[in-house]
Amino acid sequence: MQNQSLEKWFLLVASWLFYMSWNPPFVLLLLGITTSDYFIGKAIARSNKSSTRHLLMGASLSIDLGILAFFKYANFLTDQWRVMLSLTGVEADPVFWEIILPAGISFFVFQSLSYTFDIYRGKLSPTNSWRDYSLFIAFFPQLVAGPIVRAADFLPQLGKRTRPQAALFESGLALFLLGAFKKAVLSDQIAPQVNLVFASPSQFDQITLIAALLGFAAQIYLDFSGYSDMAIGCARMMGYRFLDNFAMPYKSFSITEFWHRWHISLSTWLRDYVYISFGGNRHGTVRTYVNLLVTMLLGGLWHGASWNFVLWGGIHGAALCVHKVWCHLLNKNPSAPVQGFGPILFGWSLTFVVVVLAWIPFRCANFGEASQFFLGVVGFGNGTINTISPQLLAGLFILIMGQLMFSKNQSWDVEIPERPFWYRFAAYSFLAAMIVVFGVTQAVPFIYFQF
């Protein structure tokens, strides 16, 4: 017991030091949110009066979302206020505050909110250990870029700590290697070409723009899923199991399926705490679609303080609504698997095109650039420069081959410890060799670190 306690304190302090390596003072912010929600959670559980529970939940929401709003959206909100005033004829000077965005704030705020929410809904009992709760929030593998872990999944694991088994450790190591390969070898090699084209899209011809768009679709998937794999693999090596965050989303046959496979921890969080809180599908068809659209708009806004992200969320929300309507007309469940070669081909193609085109506003700096890029992609641009890097082509090829080789419901990292020794040696050696030979080590930040 004493060893377990020491181990958890060690992990907690290590996680704080890890967070401080980004910007030391912000560990106080992390401690503040942790402590406030820990005590609010206990108070909610102790309280019998619903008004008090409402008040406490409101306090948690206000503190957490208020902090998030300040650090992430202050300049955006003041600028929108100024624009609104100007529409009424009142001219105000633009205000810009130099606010540093704490790394991972969107992730750990959501994680902490899920804890108080679950207690409020009676789904979870509060933990009596501030240390365990702090470790749940600050655990370094998932602190700065997810996955957004639920207290119901992680706190019991912290409570009854068991030594990691060899197979679990190896599975974690395999996943970590795979994640590092995706990030350092594939994503970071694609990044320069993508950055080059998105920096000034009007110069480039249609082929180059399409290649860059596909490159960004590959880059963001490889970058984010690579980090998630490394985080989940690292936790698994220590004996903690997190749920997968990505499950081959580009093999989805519908937009609904895409959101069951892309950033699963965020999509389930939005479903459980935003969509269901707004009423979900319990208040009629129209209200269901409105709730879905609003949830996706907020999901877009979560990614960044810009209308571009809201537009991205809106495109996905609209696509989800259209899919729901379509399934309703065909009398099918939107989550049911698509069957038949024709429907699969049509579904996959449409989903892929919508998802890839939606990346345009996500990546571009503003609406102007996004519309310029879109026009260029569909053939109405004026750019003439043609340049496609071999790294981009190689990265796309490897990604496509990987998607074709593995089934979308297959978990290679879980299966591999069962394989023969020579297979495992060959697989791990290949990944490790690729990382040391082709891995990029200059600072190419993880895309989702900015969220």
Write out the residues near other proteins by the rule CB under 8 A: 21-24, 165-167, 169-170, 173, 189, 192, 195-196, 199-200, 203, 384-387, 389-391, 421, 424-425, 428-429, 432-433, 435-444
Q: Among residues 431, 293, 309, which one has the least CA distance to residue 365? A: 309
246 conformational bin, left if phi > 0, alpha if psi -120 to 50, beta if neither: beta
Residue 280 CB, nearest approach to other proteins (Å):
43
Residue 381's Cβ-side half-sphere holds a number of Cα atoms within 13 Å equal to: 26
* Per-residue H/E/C for 287-340: HHHHHHHHHHHHHHHHHCCCHHHHHHHHHHHHHHHHHHHHHHHCCCCCCCCCCC
Residue 102 CB, nearest approach to other proteins (Å):
13
Residue 41, burial from CB neighbour count under 10 angstroms (0-12, 13-18, 19+): buried
Residue 332 CB, nearest approach to other proteins (Å):
46
Q: Among residues 255, 20, 15, 239, which one has the least CA distance to residue 136? A: 15
Q: Which is nearer to other proteins, 331 or 441 (CB)?
A: 441
Residue 237 CB, nearest approach to other proteins (Å):
10
CB 386 within 8 A of CB 208: yes
Phi, then psi, of 204 in degrees rounded to 5? -100, 150
Q: Which is nearer to other proteins, 170 or 229 (CB)?
A: 170
Distance CA 204, CA 382 (A): 8
Neighbours of 434 (CB within 10 A): 17
Distance CA 150, CA 114 (A): 7
Q: Which is nearer to other proteins, 192 or 402 (CB)?
A: 192
CB 247 within 8 A of CB 215: no
Distance CA 360, CA 329 (A): 30
Distance CA 215, CA 248 (A): 16
Is 303 annotated as catalytic? Answer: yes
Q: Which is nearer to other proteins, 248 or 388 (CB)?
A: 388
Residue 159 CB, nearest approach to other proteins (Å):
25
Q: Which is nearer to other proteins, 243 or 426 (CB)?
A: 426
Residue 195 CB, nearest approach to other proteins (Å):
6
Q: Which is nearer to other proteins, 90 or 166 (CB)?
A: 166
What residue spans of 121-247 are helical by DSSP H?
130-138, 140-143, 151-159, 166-180, 188-199, 206-237
Of the residues 54, 263, 283, 303, only one is catalytic, namely: 303
Residue 262 CB, nearest approach to other proteins (Å):
28
Q: Which is nearer to other proteins, 63 or 416 (CB)?
A: 416
The catalytic residues are 303
